[in-house]
Amino acid sequence: MQTAARKGLRRVRHVVTAGLQACALAAAIWALPGWACGPDFPHELLSDRHASVYELVEGSFDFEAARLVPRPAQTLKPNENPWEAPGESRIELEKRELGEAAYAKVEAMRLSADDAQAWAAGEGLSDEVRLYTAGARAFHAGDTATALQRFDAVLALPAEQQSSRWLWARYMRGRVNRTQVTDGAAVGEAEMVAAAVAAAQDFQAVRAAVAAGASDPLGLAVASYGEEAVLLLASGDTAAAVRLYAEQAGQGSASGRASLLFVARDLFADDAALRAALADPLLQQLLASYVYTRTGEFEGTDEAGQPKPQAAALQRYYAAIEADATGTIGGVDRVAAAAYRSARYELAGKLAAGSQTALAHWVRAKLALRAGDDRTAADAYAQASRAFPRDEDWGVNPNEGYSYEGLKPACRVDGERAILALGRGDYVEALRLFHAGGGQYWMDEAQVAERVLSVDELKHYVDTNVPEPAAPPKANDEGWTPPQPDAQLRALLGRRLMRSGRYAEATVYFPPTLRDTAAAYAKARLDAPKQGGIERAETLFRAARLARESGMELLALELAPDAAFFGGSYELTDPSLDTQDKKLVGTDEPQRVAASRPQPVQRFHYRFVAADLANQAADLVPARSQAFAAMLCSATGWLINRDPAQARSYYRRYIDQGPYVAWAANFGNHCPAPDFAGAAKRLQFERVRWAKQVARRYAPFVAGGALVLVVGFVFWRRRRTKPVG
């Protein structure tokens, strides 16, 4: 065993060192404050339809590592990453258990120069705590003999004197013996074998005790998997070590996942180790997961500009796979996916044909598309959609720029199927497939619902398939309220109906908290045409104010140009189909997108709607009234920062037609409420004045005309009464 152990020490030290560095980095990052660098935009499949359909996403090594072996029946809790598995640190735990005074003695023991000084500093502590702390100090000081002595003493205490430190002591005794093996402290084969056996027994005992109900707030049971695996690596039993790491990863351990990644890298770095690994089913699965999920490690060049050594190793790996006569390699669907991503389409097809997993169906679907066999592709896509569990989550898949994709393969497959549906003009089916993703690809769903479907098509789909949520969503522990996909789509329809002038139909699609506002806007828009004069002006201006103050919620487009999805915080561009794969664009889709553009085509277009309504209202009041000036002031202010030219036109109208007002110096910035009662009085005054002016102007003509009529009448009467001679 000694020879095998010596050969394995380099690999063991690499894995242990890398693991320690990862933990240190994690702790350092956790201690830093968070800095906001900008938004993470959801990934959009429709931004590049060809790439979304013909390329295959990279898998997640963390997900693959956690499923290499069946999840252990007994769930153990890790305590290693504060953001993944938060738990108390040893310091926090001891402060809580012992109190400040006793904890101060524990820290004094740990800082002592030697065992005697540490023992004296622990005067007054319980025997268990005092013995364990002395052993921990000795271990970190490299005094393994004293450490073993102290830990053995903890384990020898009567049961009534033991609480939690006996589990810690058992784990630490295993670590002492493990370091003697991996650090070369044990001399002679017999001593190394004995230390390895003792360490393995201790780690297994820790897991058994925790599985039986022992308290383990520090996650020592999960950590013991990795410690024991290091022993197996040192002995040269890589497959057994990987099984333990896989069990550790299956318990949610980031350390276990990282260790599996380091082992996979080491196997690819050693041709002999790679060949040997290909003979073991579990190692075959590990390698398959590695090549499918770590594409970037094989591509590109090194610092000297030469192809990475891993690239040559990958070529040898594929050659070995192709030469395999059994065709039963572990993780064959992952290898098929990796081959597809590497443009080895013939190999991908050969491997995928021998598997009936969801991923294999997905690969076959893409191969059929490349071959122009749309029917076979559709069938394979449907099989993949059914085979992937709806709750399977591969984690966040970062994309180019600030885009991210929370990769749920079932949703991704349906998203790609939606793109194919768009290409054949089945737009409602595309919406259904996107909506089935539960908001996973909401930006794409919104584009189809908002710009591709007609209003009637969207309304029929929502009425048939998207009921109003029974209750509003609840905020999580961080105070964030997740969106409800059904509520999102219904609100999008409500806004689209409002923009289409179908006010009476729109209100019911808004969430209850917005329904009164929506109803008020709808009523104003419906009432205004039935009214006249000042009353109509007041109603139009009420609609204008609602459009300006609640336009994002009532009228805005979810995407460009208003970006309601982001609360209007970011400017989005109008979707362009010019650069898309024409096969994946419906024949009349461009015309549909053009027809659904808002009017006007401006960011925050509802501000322009509001300003126009205010301008229409100004047409209905006397130009010399305060209301005229106030409404044009509002129209100016609503656009002054969006469209200065249009705002200036409203201001110019006020200058040309309106009255002098004391607040004109702040026109567009501070606008009073319109005085409609004053406008009504002004209108009445102007009507009376007009009548008087007309009377004064035409009185002489009226009098003259009346005189002529009187004279004429008299003359006529005389003619009628004159006797006939």
pLDDT at 218 over 80: yes
Closest CA to 554 of 594, 613, 595: 613
Q: How confident is the model at residue 388 (pLDDT cuts 50, 70, 90)?
A: very high
Calpha distance 339→359 (Å, rounded): 13
Calpha distance 172→132 (Å, rounded): 9
CA 601 to chain centre: 29
pLDDT at 595 over 60: yes
Read off the tokens for 89: 């640190």
Q: Are 176 and 144 in contact (CB under 8 A)?
A: yes
Q: How confident is the model at residue 5 (pLDDT cuts 50, 70, 90)?
A: very low
Model pLDDT, residue 33: 32
Model pLDDT, residue 37: 35
Model pLDDT, residue 87: 65
Calpha distance 365→349 (Å, rounded): 10
Number of residues that make up the chain: 725
What is the SS3 string spanning 557-618?
A: CCCCCCCHHHCCCCCCCCCCCCCCCHHHCCCCHHHHHHHCCCCCCCCCHHHHHHHHHHHHHH
Model pLDDT, residue 28: 31
Tokens 């990769």 locate to 407
> Which whole number is the average pLDDT over 119-126?
96
Model pLDDT, residue 21: 37
Report the percent of the chain where pLDDT is more than 70: 89
Report the percent of the chain where pLDDT is more than 90: 72
Tokens 């806007």 locate to 521
Total Cβ atoms within 10 A of residue 703: 10
Total Cβ atoms within 10 A of residue 149: 15
Closest CA to 239 of 286, 192, 207, 305: 286
Of residues 254 and 25, more confidence is placed in 254
Q: How confident is the model at residue 507 (pLDDT cuts 50, 70, 90)?
A: very high
Closest CA to 265 of 230, 289, 241: 289
Residue 137 CB partners (closer than 8 Å, separation 6+): 109, 110, 112, 115, 118
293-319: pLDDT as tens digits:
998 888 877 777 777 788 888 999 999
Calpha distance 552→610 (Å, rounded): 12
DSSP state of 307: B
User: For 399-403, 415-419, 713-717, which range has the lowest pLDDT when averaged over its residues?
Assistant: 399-403
Of residues 572 and 324, more confidence is placed in 572
> Which whole number is the average pLDDT over 37-66?
87
Q: How confident is the model at residue 349 (pLDDT cuts 50, 70, 90)?
A: very high
> Which whole number is the average pLDDT over 514-520?
97
Q: Are 198 and 177 in contact (CB under 8 A)?
A: yes
DSSP string covering 29-81: HHHSPP------EEP-GGGGHHHHHHS-----HHHHHTTSSPPPSS-----S-
Calpha distance 333→350 (Å, rounded): 10
Model pLDDT, residue 27: 34
The CA dihedral of 550, 551, 553, 554, to the nearest 10 degrees, is: 110
Q: How confident is the model at residue 723 (pLDDT cuts 50, 70, 90)?
A: low
Q: How confident is the model at residue 83 (pLDDT cuts 50, 70, 90)?
A: low
Closest CA to 632 of 605, 612, 662: 612
475 φ/ψ angles, rounded to the nearest 5 degrees: -70, 145
pLDDT at 556 over 60: yes
Of residues 163 and 410, more confidence is placed in 410
User: For 21-25, 102-106, 225-229, which range has the lowest pLDDT when averaged over its residues?
Assistant: 21-25
Total Cβ atoms within 10 A of residue 487: 18
Cβ-based burial of 298 (10 A; exposed 0-12, middle 13-18, buried ≥19): buried
616-660: pLDDT as tens digits:
999 999 999 999 999 999 999 999 999 999 999 999 999 999 999
Read off the tokens for 252: 């949610």
Model pLDDT, residue 604: 95
663-696: pLDDT as tens digits:
999 999 999 999 999 999 987 877 777 667 767 7
Residue 26 CB partners (closer than 8 Å, separation 6+): 81, 82, 254
User: For 18-27, 334-343, 512-521, 689-698, which range has the lowest pLDDT when averaged over its residues?
Assistant: 18-27
Rg (CA), the chain: 39
132-150: pLDDT as tens digits:
999 999 999 999 999 999 9
Read off the tokens for 664: 């004109």
Q: How confident is the model at residue 84 (pLDDT cuts 50, 70, 90)?
A: low
* pTM recorded for the entire structure: 0.85
Question: In this structure, is the dihedral angle defined by the CA atoms of residues 195, 196, 201 and 204, taken in order, positive or negative?
Answer: positive
Read off the tokens for 592: 């549909």
Calpha distance 279→289 (Å, rounded): 16
Pairing of the two strands 403-406 and 41-42 = parallel
Model pLDDT, residue 88: 75
Model pLDDT, residue 541: 98
User: For 14-28, 35-49, 162-176, 231-245, which range has the lowest pLDDT when averaged over its residues?
Assistant: 14-28
Long-range contacts of 592-601 (CB under 8 A, 24+ apart): 592/427, 592/451, 592/452, 592/453, 592/454, 593/451, 593/452, 596/450, 596/451, 596/452, 598/499, 598/557, 598/561, 598/562, 601/561, 601/574
Q: How confident is the model at residue 164 (pLDDT cuts 50, 70, 90)?
A: confident
Instruction: Return the half-sphere exposure (C-beta side, CA atoms, 13 A cut-off) of residue 522.
Output: 22
Read off the tokens for 469: 């949520």
Mean pLDDT of the chain: 88
Q: Are 683 and 621 in contact (CB under 8 A)?
A: yes
